[in-house]
Amino acid sequence: MRKKYAAVCALVIAAATLNAADPAHAEPAHAIAMQGDPALPADFQTLPYANPDAPQGGTMRYCVFGNFDNLNPVIVRGALTTARGIWFDKEFGNLVFEPLMQRSPDEPFTMYGLIAKTVETDDERNFVEFRLDPKAKFSDGHPITPEDVLFTVRMLREHGRPMYANWLRPAVKIEKVGDDGVRFTFDETADRETPLLISGLPVLPEHAFDEKTFEQTTLKPVIGSGPYVIADVKPGQEITYEKNPDYWAKDLPIRAGMFNYDRIVIDYYRDSNAQFEGFKKGNCHIYLEGDPSHWRTAYNFPAVTDGRVIKETFHTGAPANMLGFVFNTRREIFADRQVRKALSMLFDFEWANKTLYYDAYQRTGSFFQNSELSALGRPASDKEKALLAPYPGEVDPEVMDGTYRPTVSDGSGSDRKVMRAALDQFEAAGYRFEGRQLVGPDNKPLTFEILVQSPEQVKMAEAYTRTLGRLGIAANVRLVDDSQYQARKDGFDYDMIIGVYSASLSPGAEQSYRWSSKAKDVNGSFNYAGTADPAIDALIDDIVAARSREDFVAAVRAYDRVLISGHYVVPLFHLPEQRLARWAFIKHPETTPLYGYQLPTFWRAPQ
């Protein structure tokens, strides 16, 4: 049973030394998994998706859209304009700062030792203790010490982005252990994910930061422990990284076949067309493609024809992200679940996919589609039914028995059967036709605004409003600039937006900030839909508390059923694979890990 601390328990960050014979200690391990055991043994020699014999050297040039004016990647200021690659970059990797432990993209959620050579915790995960690798050092030669970890925690709590404070909130005591260890002790608000989240924290050098100015943006190159150092900065235009020849972890198995270039240059483009033109000219070497129309029509230039540029697709074992029109249920017009269901039926995917997207997409119906976590096409198990029993009526019968699918039209753009079925739902909710308008129980026409931020979103929204108009629903599309969009989104000042809910094989605490009642009224949270449902709250708790994979899968599927049945979004579509174009001299390993290609494992062929 988790130890409960008295209300007077102080939040301590101390430099005390614990008794090494403390019976609460478990055996030190090389890795920690969310459920079950890590896939790789302590003596593994390389990651299964990396090529330890990859050639080293050369320059990689990436191209990105946007600009940058900050090099401190953990502060609130400049959060949207921090240079790519420094830290927490899911595409380019952590080039400058590193975490205590490294996540493996070939497993649902497992962390392997990096700066922390070992990790200890107990069965209840009341604490986690890290022992630092004695070889670990920053790029300026200073060794990484427990004091650096304590400094990092203090800076993240005082000045860091909200997610770091959330990860650290359960830690009521943080203290130095011996000469090389740090121990985090948790209160009852922690869960099984907490030690893994904390193991993913960066480690910042105390000697290289001024606490008085830490929260301010900076363009002065920062010092980290990663494989690269910042060599040149052209604000808003280009940042250049050079490999540190004395990188402390270059011979560790966790780094074999990783970060293979001598130099990485990231060029910034203010226009997406110019960005692609830069790729065509060879000014950047990889282009990550997300537009199926562009994928089909734009790659007819000579370098593709003669084989110098290669178009490639990758299949993953990760669930598809949920892209959809998000109802703001804080608005009275969207408070009725039956109305949301009827509106969801009116997105004509078959017409849009054929007419606008060259039939490139697949329809999304689950928040964890294409994975074992999805409820789509699966009847509820006994475990799921037991979890859902306290909340009768939360799950639609067809979602419970696995027969639910998003509405399928005939692709004509005016399927009368679909519109009749949607109208039946509206009528059951008290709506009626007056002239050419659909009018609600309050005698007001059904009308709302779809807030968008890009021409591509305009195209999606107009495809939707086209069908809505046929049923007398006036939906207006409003395109605003990025700053206005962000402000309105943060303040929940919208009727409907287009949102993306990223999916993984290890959903956990992040779900609370997307869907829980406690996040509903927190400005800037990801609870775009405004949900406040006891069933959702309870199932999130079940997910993070699950110890076995079987219990975890049951909890996530039950959760998926509740989200689907709530009709909080109009599900749109997803690409069935990852798409990437590369110049032929850029190579990659043959093995694709569970979460898809990993750019840090790519290399440049010797010339």
SS (H, E, C) 529-593: CCCCCHHHHHHHHHHHHCCCHHHHHHHHHHHHHHHHHHCCEEECEECCCEEEEEECCEECCCCCC
Q: What is the DSSP letter of 494?
A: -
* Token pair for 411: 């692709």
Give percent of the chain above pLDDT 90: 88
What pLDDT is recorded for position 483? 84
User: How many CA within 13 A on the CB side of residue 580?
Assistant: 20
Per-residue model confidence as pLDDT tens digits over 307-338:
999 999 999 999 999 999 999 999 999 999 99
- CA–CA gap between residue 151 and residue 73 (Å, rounded): 16
Does residue 200 carry a pLDDT above 50?
yes
Backbone angles phi, psi at 315, to 5 degrees: -105, 140
Q: Tell me the average pLDDT across 198-226.
A: 97
Per-residue model confidence as pLDDT tens digits over 63-80:
998 899 999 999 988 887
Q: Tell me the average pLDDT across 577-585.
A: 97
Per-residue model confidence as pLDDT tens digits over 369-381:
999 999 999 999 9
What pLDDT is recorded for position 80? 79
pTM: 0.85
- CA–CA gap between residue 349 and residue 344 (Å, rounded): 11
- How far does the chain reach from its first CA to its final CA, in angstroms? 61
What pLDDT is recorded for position 5? 34
- Domain residue spans in the chain? 12-50+98-213, 322-574
Q: Tell me the average pLDDT across 381-385.
A: 98
Q: Taking Cα atoms as reference points, which of 82, 84, 111 lies closest to residue 99? A: 111
CATH class of 12-50+98-213: alpha beta
Q: Tell me the average pLDDT across 444-458.
A: 95
Does residue 166 carry a pLDDT above 90?
no
Residue 115, classified by CB atoms within 10 Å of its CB into exposed (0-12), middle (13-18) or buried (19+), is buried
Return the CATH architecture of domain 322-574: Roll (3.10)
Q: Tell me the average pLDDT across 484-489.
A: 92
User: Comparing 5-9, 198-202, 218-222, 496-500, which segment has the lowest mean pLDDT?
Assistant: 5-9
Does residue 16 carry a pLDDT above 70?
no
Q: Tell me the average pLDDT across 285-310.
A: 95
What pLDDT is recorded for position 169? 94
What pLDDT is recorded for position 162? 83
Per-residue model confidence as pLDDT tens digits over 81-129:
899 999 999 999 999 999 999 999 999 999 999 999 999 999 999 999 9
What pLDDT is recorded for position 20? 39
* Token pair for 11: 């939040």
- CA–CA gap between residue 252 and residue 297 (Å, rounded): 43
Does residue 23 carry a pLDDT above 90?
no
Does residue 574 carry a pLDDT above 60?
yes
Which residues, including other chains, have CB under 8 Å from residue 318's CB and lie 6 or more apart? 370, 371, 503, 504, 505, 594, 595, 596
What pLDDT is recorded for position 595? 94
Does residue 2 carry a pLDDT above 60?
no
Between 164 and 5, name the one with better pLDDT: 164
Asked if domains 12-50+98-213 and 322-574 share a fold, the reply is no
What pLDDT is recorded for position 433? 92
Contact (Cβ atoms closer than 8 angstroms) between residue 600 and residue 286: no
What pLDDT is recorded for position 6? 33
